[in-house]
Amino acid sequence: MRIYIVLLLLSLSLPLNSHAKQMGVDYLAGEYSTSGIRIALQPMEPQQLPLWDLNWHLEASFNRWQQDAGDEHRQVNVLALSPVITRQFAALANRPVFWEFGIGVSLLDERLFAHKNMGSHFQFEDRIGVVLKVSDEHTLSLRYMHYSNAGLASNNPGMDFLSLSYRRGF
């Protein structure tokens, strides 16, 4: 848990590239006593799509997953890139609420994690979530995130996480 607090504090103090539009930090809670932290960067403003009031943006992230299993302590680092589609569906206290959906790609530095053989280092990163825009610069979100290789390897157990996220715009 201490590593997560240190990573969180470091991520919030990092200077951002002048082209970055949002930076966020997520806490991940997963199956088999796994947890993690995810640092995400949105390098572009959301772009409007021509259908159904949808917007999209690109997100790059670094994840560190951790499992505490008795005396055994395992970690996996993950790099991911995902297009994300959003749409406002409600307002809460005059603040917009959005759903989001995305399917991207990710690369794990280990195939074995949480008593699972993930099958390959390459995984898809799937998400569905709800985002509350607290102010022009701050958002909170709750997401379900799934990582799997979609059957491209013989082993495909996948990993599932609930994610609580804070984002800050610049």
Tell me the catalytic residues.
Answer: 146, 148, 160
From 86, 115, 109, select the one nearest 99 (Cα to Cα). 86
- Paired tokens of 155: 């082993």
Cα gap 100→84, rounded to integer Å: 7
156 token code pair: 């495909």
For the four alpha carbons of 98, 10, 74 and 112, in that order, the dihedral sign comes to positive
Interatomic CA distance for residues 158 and 151, integer angstroms: 10
Is 71 exposed, middle or buried, given 0-12, 13-18 or 19+ CB atoms closer than 10 A? Answer: exposed
Biggest CA–CA distance in the chain, Å, is 53
Q: Rounded to whole angstroms, how far apart are CA atoms 2 and 6?
A: 6
